[in-house]
Structure 1
Amino acid sequence: MTMGGKATALDGRRLRLHVRGAVQGVGFRPYVYGLATRYRLGGFVANDPHGVIIEVEGERASDFVAALPREKPPLARIDEISVQPVGAVETAEFCIRASEQGRVSTRIVADAATCKECLNELFDRTSRFFRYPFVNCTHCGPRYTIAERLPYDRPTTAMKRFAMCKACVDDYADPRSRRFHAEAVACPQCGPKLSHEIEDIAAAIAGRKIVAIKGLGGFQLLCDARDDAVVRRLRQRKQRDQKPFAVMVGSVEAVAEIAEADAGELALLETLPRPIVLMNSRQLLAPAIAPGLSRIGVVLPVAPLHHLILDALNAAHKRGGESWAIVATSANPGGEPLLIDNSEAERRLAGIADLVVTHDRDIVTRADDSVAAVVAGQTQFIRRARGYVPEPVRLARAVPPFLSVGGALKSTVTITRGNEAFVSQHIGDLDSAEGIRFFEETVHHLLSTLDVEPVVIAHDLHPNMASTRFAEASGTRLIAVQHHHAHAASVMAEHGVAGPALALVLDGFGHGSDGGNWGGELLSCEGAHFQRLGHLAPMKMPGGDRAAREPWRMAAGVLHALQRGETIATRFAAQPQAARLSVLLEQSGVPVTTSAGRLFDAAAGLLGLCPVQSYEGEAAMKLEALVRAPCIAQDGWTIENGMLSLDPLLERIATGRIDPVVGAELFHGTFAAACIDWIGRAARETGITTVTLSGGCFLNAILARDIERGCVAAKLSPLLPRQVPPNDGGLSLGQAWIAAQKLLGQQGLEGAA
């Protein structure tokens, strides 16, 4: 924050303030109006392309300046306030002016869950918002998902088609109202309408039906989470065999009926973004909710519609002493992007949902629910989307405008503007035409919203990714970034670390600098450069990419390497290809990998868990679910010339005589201990004590916790990703940071020359 002099010297003068940050669409102008009125100041407030501009004049101007950041609205984020004296105008009145137009450098805030005041009105019979599914105010409701562009005013949102009634106009114009200049304000007389009655929706769910509703960021599928037959029917219709479903309950008190949540998890659950939070299951819901897993994803109601449905279920369809819990999962057939269009949803969901509930407020930008966990007392994202996007990651320095396009799985894109990096919502996998369209749609919308023209596009080193092809077709200057270097750099970017730093990247797959299949890497990073200090021992992948979907193949590769190839056919007799695999493994040209993800698959396969995966990470998640107390096989690993091998541990597991629970606990404890040893040796050799920990395997809470603690015990400084996921959802942020270091370094060299 910058000031134009001592506060007392400002009294009695006219001051111009520029406020930058998330200050549009959050009730900031009415807040300023109220504050200026309190201090009896003249002047005005208006949105401008850079944020908010304020002029105040009067004897208590300095008190106003001091109070401004202290009492801001709950959704506002202030990055900078600049203050300068200007010539007096001698105005006694304070007003809100129309927004100024121009090149945009402010931002829209994320959608926010229904606030307490709106929730009270929702169930207050005397309120004109009683049981209105679209009640909102400046403290809550849709923002990013309904915004077309900036400045954030009603004509640039999906609300432009709804002309306000007199009561809403009065609220909108009343500085004492919570809806003063609330751009999405609406009521039953003038606002969006729901296609079905709440009672009919609740009756359908209670009657064992599957219901699709139009949520904040897209359509969702709802059903009774305690009815196993209904949940299995949803799986069959949605073609989602094993991947877990999220569960919504009506209150924090109801969480205790289905999960064991600590204080940190409950606090995260109640935050305004309302993420899905992973917590230990009491195993009292339908077994088909999260097959083979110990944790479930729980979410509280996000929008008024959710509150109304759960209230109706609990009031009219009581089930003894149990509160209602409903499945709340994305309505995306066959893993495609989330549906947002009414007619498309009615057509595409006809074979999945028994009832499709729409409304007439458009969703401009689709956004899945965010998914998070509490690991070692800190929030860790699994998926960052609704409620958090487009909040930027603050960078340690200003950088040129970049677009980075991420990878192929769990895709996101990042756009930099000054010292901010805007990481998009979760896009998903780019393995379908619909996924690629959503990716391109997200790029164009974010660039338009931020009013940015990138000078460079950063992309993955892999030449055959859809994101790489998009970059190559752009005609913009390109910078290719190695996959695991980008993982490391995403952590460095959010923590403001330029290096040097060690990086332990435990991942599923990434194209290596040598063209190989990397995934378990120990790197040294500084600026735009990295050095590969070591890697996991290579393992054979019989069948190539197919081995990533069939853990039994990775297990067979380990058995062959341990001279136990003759046991493959009998051990995996249920697999049609098992008899041929030992012969295949003898041949040259079998692909190899250093992937930590495939190491988890091999361990799961050897323990008889999940021979074939129905979703990415299933084997590793089911292996983690067995662990209660990790234990260490002290002789379970070797490190030679920077290469970490767990062959001694795998030899013990490969006997087939070890209990799966014991094997899972041995694997987790030993792998974590081996990684700590590996990092420690590199730290002693290099003198580097900062360690970044990233890659999809760090979604494993046990591994993340134990490696972080081990690093601290070794007097190292571990850094985990906190603002973006450790998986490929954070890849685009790392790409942008490396591209910035590279370009700024080149400019420095050119300047020196």
Structure 2
Amino acid sequence: MNNLKRLKIIIQGAVQGVGFRPFIYRLATELNLKGWVNNSASGVFIEVEGNEIILEHFLARIPQEKPTISFINTVETTWLDPVNYSNFEIRHSSSGEKTAIVLPDLSTCSDCLQEIFDSNNRRYLYPFTNCTNCGPRYTIIEELPYDRPHTTMKVFTMCKRCQTEYENPLDRRFHAQPNACPNCGPRLQLWNEKGEILANDNNALNLSIDALKEGKILALKGLGGFQLIVNGRNTEAVTELRRRKHRPHKPFALMYASFKGIKIDCEINNLEENLLTSPQAPIVLLKRKNNQSLSPDVAPNNPYLGVMLPSTPLHHLLLHKLNFPIVATSGNIASEPICIDEQEALQRLENIADLFLVHNRPIIRPVDDSVVRVIAGREMMIRRARGYAPFPLQINDNLLTNYKKNNKHIPNILAVGGHLKNTVAILKKNQVFISQYIGDLTTAEALKSFNQVMKSLKKLYDFEPEMIVCDAHPDYVSSQYAKAQNLPLITVQHHHAHVLSCLANNNLNSSVLGVAWDGTGYGNDQTIWGGEFLLVTGNKYERIAHFRPFKLPGGEQAVKDPKRIALSLLSEVFQDYDNKKLPFLETISTKEFNLVKQMLSRNLNTPLTSSVGRLFDGVAAMIGICQNVTFEGQGAMALEYMINNLETDESYPYNIKGSVYPLVIDWELMIQSIIEDHFNQISHQKIAAKFHNTLVEIIIDIANRSQQQSILLTGGCFQNKYLTEKAIARLKQEKFTPFWHYNIPPNDGGLALGQIIAGILEKK
């Protein structure tokens, strides 16, 4: 045939473990093309021969018909002379540079779900059912390419029927690496708190269901680690879980058996529904209805619920026989990473769980549940983990122009994130691989997890860093780690990293005004920043405005006891603040009041902060809606939720001082007016709304003075739905172009991405 051609195709992206090779096989055989396809450590390689017009048709159909859960980054093609292949085959994987994308773990697909509830199917009630469209990926893979010998499933030898499925290109389980059935795969066991076996397989599941009905606390080994589970309608059980877990107020997540059940308890829009039912199946924050039979201790004083649907066959089977939603919270003690090993869980959770539902499929790395919230009509990631990590972010070519133009090597960069909500990230070529949520680096267990995650990413991608980037705070554990690595080191100011993270998340490369508001960040003047307006151009930033600094009596102690922050604010506004008849003052003992008063007057252990997060804490304590906090952001959440559905554009007065940068936003008039409203018995709802509106007007004011068109909203304060949506609406109204986070968190979970960008720009 004169027009016989051979086409070589290299496809990079999320194309392994998603049924991509059988898809190519089916497409090629349908078009009567010859050749082969295989996985490599960098993607999918194809060589295919046939008529040139048919080959072009084949190439065009790949992106149109590819498996739904796959994602194509690049397609490279080369036309070659034919070698006269006799058939089309799927070849064994090859090695090479490891740049292929490891797919995140995906929730159970509808086909597998149908099988586990079909009494005639051989996988009936089997809790480890999966196929190429669903199941574990990131939590079980040891190295690339993604083949069974490189996963924790290598310890399970497939039975004849599973092996037949695995080898059949027309079967949806073709090269499904976790493929298994009751005869050859992982098994369930139920243990007591001593690790003694109480039951196996379905008996273990049924006894677990009975225990939950009785109000017991169950530690369940899930996809990426252990979860602690109780009946979400049993207040006694939920309260006991809080007591044992040392988590008095922070909301628990709920798992419902079906979408129908969620609709009974929550208000849901189309986007929230799509998120809940997506293959990622994250926790979604939803407005709760009033007609609930849930325990009030699930989410105390909170108009929102964090809810999710079952993400594994085990969860589906568990909830199928329960007539109530379950609390499903991380299997850990506060501030520690989740347990992934059953023996470790026995030790760390022995004083929390009554029973342990375990299995023998090893978990390589801990991956918690992801959390998202719909803000301004699109999803915003709050915690990026299961279903999303380690899916990479592709860097805007504009940021890499200097490297590409001069044919320079793009360095391998490791970014180690911050101290709270830690994530780490690596840059390999033009892709940033961001780790799953690790947590706060405040315990030995958390530090161990931090080291393991970095080691894991390095192994997975054959990654050796040539440069390391960290936060400028000298006392962060992550920064100390970075400095000990004997590599070229870049330190990045905390809020500059926040702005760069938002910039990369929105694929921008221009001069921007970044509004970076959070609780804590080390400033370059050695004070604590957190209410910043940064003019960012390339790798440079200018602090053009910030909130007037105030004292934190006792430093970290003030963060835990926001009444101290309220006293600090009062002391700067009123000379006779100790005589003010504010109700919150009555909750402070004379001893503590005198101690704080002495600290403030003598500047003893009173670091200065410009933090908007701490301003939220102080105002919440001052008006009496949150005087003690047991988790980060509790005061800010209380103020946001207090607004409820109130609609008002009223705000408080404030001053902006100075004629040169940085301008100082003086909150004194605002605090005076809040106290006046409080004395005049203006509702907490109205005060909270006016406080938020004032913050928004400050953004507009500084934006006008900056003469910048693009305004970026970043930092933990912009997890606040009311604040963010109001700011976006007002910026648009004033003809600015606002940008905010979506698939990268605005909180410190996004810092590592910003640090990577700083590393790239530093070398330009």
Counterpart for residue 255 of structure 2: 248
- Give the Cα–Cα distance (whole angstroms) in 2 for the partners of residues 330 and 580 of structure 1: 38
Does 2:578 align with 1:566?
yes
Question: Which residue, out of 168, 183, 189, partners 2:183?
Answer: 189
TM-score (normalizing by structure 1): 0.94
User: Residues 418-567 of structure 1: matches in 2 within 5 Å?
Assistant: 418-563=429-574, 564-567=576-579
Is 1:333 aligned to residue 333 of structure 2? yes
Q: Which amino acid aligns with 2:303?
A: S
- SS for the counterpart of 2:9 is strand
Give the drift of 1:87: 2.5
Q: CA deviation at 1:660?
A: 1.7
Partner SS for 1:308: helix
Distance 1:645 1:360, change over 3 A: same
Give the letter aligned to residue 511 of structure 2.
Answer: P
8 Å CA contact 1:107–1:150 kept in 2: the answer is: no
Residue 609 of structure 1 corresponds to: 625
Determine the structure 1 residue equivalent to 2:702: 678
Aligned position for 2:22: 30
Equivalent position to 1:723, from 738, 743, 746: 743
Paired AA for residue 69 in structure 2:
L
8 Å CA contact retained: 1:504, 1:679: no
SS of the equivalent of 1:334 reads coil
Between the two proteins, what is the percent identity of the paired residues? 40
Gaps of 5+ in 1: 1-8, 315-323, 745-753
Runs of 4+ in 1 over 6 A off after TM superposition: none
The answer to whether the 8 A contact 2:4-2:82 is kept is: no
Of 613, 629, 632, the match for 1:597:
613
- Stretch moving more, 293-302 or 198-207: 198-207
Larger displacement relative to structure 2 (712-721 or 297-306): 712-721
The secondary structure found in structure 2 opposite 1:178 is coil
* TM-aligned CA distance change 1:98 to 1:626, over 3 Å: same
Q: What amino acid sits opposite 1:417 in the alignment?
A: K
Number of the residue aligned with 2:209: 202
Between 543-552 and 426-435, report the one with greater CA deviation.
Answer: 543-552
Residue 646 (structure 1) aligned with residue 640 (structure 2): no
Which letter maps to 1:669?
A: N
Please list the CA deviations of residues 352-390 of structure 1 after superposition, one character each: whole Å capped at 9, or x if unmatched.
111101000000011000000000111101100010001
Question: Which residue of structure 2 lines up, in the alignment, with residue 320 of structure 1?
Answer: none
Q: Deviations over 1:600-626 (max 9, x none)?
A: 011101110221100011111111111
User: Secondary structure of the residue that 2:45 maps to in structure 1?
Assistant: strand
Code of the aligned partner of 2:654: W
Do the aligned partners of 2:437 and 2:749 also contact (CA within 8 Å) in 1?
yes
Question: Using the alignment, how far apart are the partners of 1:697 and 1:170 within structure 2?
Answer: 53
In the alignment, which of 302, 316, 319 is matched to residue 310 of structure 1?
Answer: 319
**Do the aligned partners of 2:253 and 2:283 also contact (CA within 8 Å) in 1?**
yes
Match of 2:210, SS state, is: helix
Other-structure match for 1:286: 295
Match of 2:34 in 1: 42
Q: 1:300 maps to which residue?
A: 309
Give the residue type in structure 2 aligned to 1:574.
T
User: Cα distance, 1:634 vs. partner?
Assistant: 4.5
CA distance 1:226–1:142, change in 2 (3 Å) = same
Alignment of 1:273 onto 2:273: no
Evaluate the alpha carbon distance shift between residue 503 and residue 11 of structure 1 in structure 2; reply closer, same or farther with a 3 A threshold: farther
Q: Distance in 2 between matches of 1:568 and 1:352?
A: 44
SS at match of 1:145: coil
Query: What does 1:708-747 align with in structure 2 at a 5 Å threshold?
Result: 708-744=728-764
Aligned counterparts of 2:221 and 2:571: Cα–Cα separation in 1: 51
Question: Residues 41 and 94 of structure 2 are in contact (CA less than 8 Å); yes or no, is this contact kept in structure 1?
Answer: yes
C-alpha change, 1:69 and 1:507, in structure 2 (3 Å) is: same
Q: How many residues are paired up?
A: 723
Shift of 1:190: 0.3
How much does 1:532 deviate? 0.4
Q: Is 1:259 paired with 2:266?
A: yes
Structure 2 residue 71 is matched with structure 1 residue 77: yes
**1:581 counterpart (596, 599, 602):** 596
Q: Give the counterpart letter for 2:131 in structure 1.
A: C
Instruction: Please give the per-residue CA displacement for 1:532-552, whole angstroms capped at 9, x wherever unaligned.
Output: 001011122112121111111
**Cα distance between partner residues in 1 of 2:512 and 2:133:** 41
Alignment deviations for residues 183-231 of structure 1 (CA, whole Å, 9 cap, x no partner): 1100001000011432111111111111111111100011110111110
- 1:642-692 superposed Cα distances (whole Å, 9 cap, x missing partner): 222232221122244233222112211222222222222222xxxx21111
CA contact (8 A) 2:646 2:685 kept: no
What residue number does 2:413 align with?
402
For residue 188 of structure 1, what is the amino acid of its counterpart?
P
Structure 2: runs of 5+ lacking an equivalent: 191-203, 401-409
Q: CA deviation at 1:569?
A: 8.8
| Shift of residue 635, structure 1, vs aligned partner | 4.8
Task: Give the one of 22, 44, 56 matched to 1:52.
Answer: 44
Structure-2 separation of matches of 1:444 and 1:149: 12
1:724-744 C-alpha deviation (Å, 9 max, x unpaired) = 100000001001101110112
TM-score when normalising by structure 2: 0.93
> Could you tell me how far apart the structure 2 residues matched to 1:633 and 1:625 are?
18
Deviations 1:239-292 (A, max 9, x none): 111010000001111111211122221111111111100011125211111112
CA 1:619/1:124 → structure 2, altered by over 3 Å: closer, same or farther?
A: same
Structure 1 contact 11–62 (Cα < 8 Å) conserved = no
Q: Is residue 651–residue 691 contact of structure 2 (8 Å, CA) maintained in 1?
A: no
Name 1:393's counterpart in structure 2.
Answer: 393
In 1, distance between residues paired with 2:59 and 2:631?
Answer: 54
RMSD: 1.5
Secondary structure of the equivalent of 1:226? Answer: coil
